[in-house]
Structure 1
Amino acid sequence: MNAIPSSLLQVTIFFVAWVCLWLPLGVVSTIILQKNKAISVIWQPFKPITADQKIPLLASLYLIAPLILWGANKALGNSFANYGVIWDWSILRSNGIGFIIGTVGLALLFGVQTLLGWIKWQIAGKKIISVTLPILLLAVWISAIEELIFRGFVLTQLQQDYSIYLAAVIASVIFALLHLVWEQKETLPQLPGLWLMGMVLVLARYIDKGSLGLAWGLHSGLVWAIATIDTAELITYTGKVPQWVTGKYGKPLAGLMGMSFLLAIGAVLWLGLQ
C-alpha cells in the first residue's frame, strides 16, 4: 500500500498541477488580447508586468482554481467545507465584519499619515466613481480565491503534519513568495508585509472558528481600498519621512506604518472578536 504523500508534497503537487493546467489558458488569453488591442501583452517571467498583461493572466489563473481544488478534493477525500467554506448567513456576516475592519483600518492608517503631513490627497470624483465598483468586484473575487487556496487548502493540509503555528508560518511564506511571480522589484520590499498579512488572515480564520468568512472580508477590504487609492491616484507622499516608514515605492505593506497597521488589525481581531 502506497504511503500518502506528506502535506507539503500535496501542496507542491497542487501548485504544479494548477500552473501546468493554467499555462495554455494564459497563453491563449494574452494572444487574444494582443490581437484585439494591437499591443504586446505576452508575459515574460522575471520581467516587469503591465496591467494589460496581468488582467488576462490573473483572470484565467483564478477562474480555474476552484476546478483544480475540486480535483484535489476528490484525490484527497476532502471537501470545501474542510477549508472553511460553509455557505450560510454566518459566512456573509463575517465577511461584512472583515470588510469593515479592513477599510476602516486603512482609513485610519492614511488619516494618521495625513495629519502628520506625510501624504497629500488629490480627490478626483469622476475617476473614483469609474473605478470603485470594478475594483470592488475584482477584490472580492481575488480575495475569495486566495483565501480558499492559502488559508483554506494550504493551511488545512499543512496542519496534518505541523502545528497550527508552523503551518501558519509556512502557508504565509508561500503566500508572500508567490507574489513575486508577477512582479519582483516592487514586491521584494513587501515580502515581510505580505507574510504578516498572511499571518493576520490565518488569525482571522482561527477567530472565525475555522470559517473563511472573516479572512475573506478582511482581505477584500484591504485589496479594494489600496487598489482604489492606487488606481485613482488619490495620494502623493510628501517625502517628509523615509520610504521605509511610509512604504517603499508607495506600497503600504513595504513600510513600518503598514506593518504596524497589520499588527494593530491582528490585535483587534484577537482582543475584540474572540
Structure 2
Amino acid sequence: MFFSSVLIEVLEPSAKTLLEFLQNSPVVVFVMAFFIVWIGCWLPLAAIMAMTLNLRLNKPLQPEQKIPLLVSLYLLVPLVLWGINWLGLGSFADYGLIADFSIFGSLLLGFGLGVLGLVVVFIGQFNLGWCYLEKSNIKSILPILLPISLVALFVGGIEELIFRGFLLTNLEKDYPIWLAAMISSLIFAVLHLVWEQRETAPQIPGLWLMGMVLVLARLVDGGNLGIAWGLHAGWVWAIATIDTAELITYTGQVSEWVTGKNKKPLAGLTGIVCVLVTGIILWLFFPGTYL
C-alpha cells in the first residue's frame, strides 16, 4: 500500500501536466500524439507476429500475413480512444459512434448503396464488353461470405472511427469543415501505402475522393457514422468478394486506366465515377443535419 501510494503521488502531477498540455496544444499535436500512441502500442505485437508469420521485409505481404497484422492494429483503436475518453479529451459520441439502434439502419442503408453502386458499374462493363463474369466461380462465394462480411464490417467501422470520426472531429476544431475533410481524406489515402505501394499508388486520387464522399456521408447522417460505415463496408465487401472468388475477368478492350489499374476500381475511371455518383446521390437525396 505504501509503494502504491508513493507511485500515485509521483505519477499524478505528471499525468495532470500531460493532460493540460494536450488540452492546450494545437490539434495537429493532439492528432500526432494519438497516432504515436496507437502505433507505439502496436509495434511490440507486430514484432512478435512478424516472427511468428515469418515475414520478410523485402517481400510483399500475402493476404494470410496482412490480415493478422491489420486486425491486431485495428483492435487497439477502441482501446486508445477509450483512453482519450477517460482523460476527458473526447468521446465515441463526439466521433459519430452513437449508442442508438438508428445507427444500424444507417449502416444497412450505406451498405446497400455501396454494393448497388458497384453492381451497376460492373453490369455496365459487362454490357460494353470490357469484362465478363466467371459463372463457374459463383459457387465459391458462399464459403467466403461470412468471413469477408465480418472483415468488411470491422475494417470499415474502424477506419471510419479513425478518419471520419476522431481525425475529422478534431481537425474541425482548428480548420473549416472543407479543409478538415480534405486533410483527413489525404491522410486516409496516403496511409494505405503502408501495406502495399505498387498497387496502392495509382489508387491515391480515388482513395482521397472516397474519403471526401465518406465525410459527406457523415454530414448527411447528422454527424453519425452509420451511412459512412455502411458505404465503406459495402465497397470493401463487394471488391473483396470479387477478388477472392475471382468473379471478374477483364477482356482488355479498353485501357486498365478505365476499368482500374491492377484490377483495382479506384485506380480507374469507372471506380472514380462510381464514387462521384454516390456522393451526388448523398447530396441530393439524403439531406441531413450538417456539422
TM-score, normalised to structure 2, is: 0.88
1:68 aligns with 2:102: no
1:23 aligns with 2:43: yes
Checking the alignment, whether the CA contact within 8 Å between 1:26 and 1:56 is kept in structure 2 is: no
**Once the two structures are superposed, what CA deviation does each residue of 1:4-37 show, in whole Å capped at 9, x if it has no partner?**
12112211111111111101112223433x3xxx
5 Å-filtered alignment, 1:83-232, equals: 83-123=95-135, 124-232=137-245
Match of 1:263 among 276, 280, 285: 276
Checking the alignment, whether the CA contact within 8 Å between 2:164 and 2:218 is kept in structure 1 is: yes
Superposed displacement of residue 212, structure 1 = 0.3
Name the CA distance, whole Å, in 1 between partners of 2:40 and 2:157: 22
- Matched AA of 1:52: E
Name the CA distance, whole Å, in 1 between partners of 2:63 and 2:56: 11
Task: Name the structure 2 match of 1:272.
Answer: 285
- Matched AA of 1:158: L
Superposed displacement of residue 178, structure 1 = 0.5
Name the CA distance, whole Å, in 1 between partners of 2:107 and 2:167: 20
Checking the alignment, whether the CA contact within 8 Å between 2:134 and 2:248 is kept in structure 1 is: yes
2:180 alignment partner, SS class: helix
Name the CA distance, whole Å, in 1 between partners of 2:56 and 2:155: 20
CA separation of 1:47 and 1:143: change in aligned 2, threshold 3 A: same
Name the CA distance, whole Å, in 2 between partners of 1:223 and 1:264: 17
Structure 2, unaligned runs of 5 or more: 1-19
Name the CA distance, whole Å, in 2 between partners of 1:118 and 1:77: 51
- Matched AA of 2:159: E
Superposed displacement of residue 78, structure 1 = 1.3
**Once the two structures are superposed, what CA deviation does each residue of 1:104-140 show, in whole Å capped at 9, x if it has no partner?**
1110011101100001111313311111111001000
Structure 1, unaligned runs of 5 or more: 35-39
- Matched AA of 2:32: T
Checking the alignment, whether the CA contact within 8 Å between 2:84 and 2:91 is kept in structure 1 is: no
Name the CA distance, whole Å, in 2 between partners of 1:172 and 1:147: 11
Name the CA distance, whole Å, in 2 between partners of 1:157 and 1:136: 30
Name the CA distance, whole Å, in 1 between partners of 2:172 and 2:222: 15
- Matched AA of 1:183: E
Superposed displacement of residue 48, structure 1 = 2.1
Count of residue correspondences = 266
Task: Name the structure 2 match of 1:54.
Answer: 66
Superposed displacement of residue 43, structure 1 = 5.3
Name the CA distance, whole Å, in 2 between partners of 1:47 and 1:19: 22
